[in-house]
């Protein structure tokens, strides 16, 4: 962040008044800066951050009508504490935003990857089902769509007591066909 300083000339003040005010501010800075840094260090526990906050406090002082402040030490300490806590809150909000962004990014990547894997699996299952007989395909699709043995039996025109055996055989043929496809796919990769 770039800070631009502008000098506003007041026709009522003389150059000597401005110089005296500047010297007074320098004296205040030299006198109170170490105390402000120590006070902020009790809150933020980081010397660099404490020095940055102390400088911010003195910038606030410079931009106020500081010559009318009666209890300079109290004003500086109160401003230092408030600025330090504001800095901590700001840092927490910043970290929370970063964590949320990281979480959403990871979720998006995982979702894309999962979607691709699911589509790939669906394609493989469809290919295997195409290679099975109509009856095996129908039995498997009905069973994994939630139909019971009686419904499957009436759909393929068999006794409901035969469905369990037919389903077991269809599963074995599916598995065998799937493994053959995977074996062919892995030999193509070699």
pLDDT tens per residue, range 71-118: 999 999 999 999 999 999 988 888 888 888 887 776 666 677 777 778
Report d(CA 44, CA 89) in Å as an integer: 11
Report d(CA 29, CA 61) in Å as an integer: 10
Over residues 46-79, the pLDDT tens digits come to 999 999 999 999 999 988 888 888 899 999 999 9
The encoded tokens of residue 39 equal: 């006070």
Domain 15-97 matches domain 132-189 at the CATH topology level: no
Report d(CA 76, CA 61) in Å as an integer: 8
Q: Is the pLDDT of residue 185 over 60?
A: no
Report d(CA 56, CA 79) in Å as an integer: 10
Which CATH topology does 15-97 take? Answer: Rna Polymerase Sigma Factor; Chain: A (1.10.1740)
pTM above 0.75, yes or no: no
Q: Return the CATH architecture of domain 132-189.
A: Orthogonal Bundle (1.10)
List the domain boundaries for the chain: 15-97, 132-189
Q: Is 44 exposed, middle or buried (0-12, 13-18, 19+ CB in 10 A)?
A: middle
């Amino acid at each position: 962040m770039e800070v631009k300083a502008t000098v506003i000339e007041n026709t009522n003040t003389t150059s000597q008044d401005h110089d005296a005010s500047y010297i007074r501010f320098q004296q205040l800075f030299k006198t109170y800066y170490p105390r402000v840094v120590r006070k902020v260090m009790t809150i933020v526990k980081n010397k660099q951050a404490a020095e940055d906050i102390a400088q911010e406090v003195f910038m606030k002082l410079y931009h106020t009508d500081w010559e009318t402040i009666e209890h300079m030490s109290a004003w500086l300490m109160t401003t230092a504490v408030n600025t330090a806590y504001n800095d901590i809150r700001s840092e927490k909000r910043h970290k929370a935003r970063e964590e949320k962004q990281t979480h959403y990014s990871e979720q998006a990547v995982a979702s894309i990857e999962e979607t691709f894997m699911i589509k790939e699996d669906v394609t493989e299952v469809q290919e295997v089902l195409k290679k099975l007989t109509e009856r095996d395909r129908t039995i498997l699709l009905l069973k994994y769509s939630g139909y019971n043995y009686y419904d499957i039996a009436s759909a393929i025109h068999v006794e409901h007591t035969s469905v369990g055996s037919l389903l077991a055989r269809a599963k074995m043929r599916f598995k065998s066909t799937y493994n053959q496809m995977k074996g062919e796919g892995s030999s193509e990769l070699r």
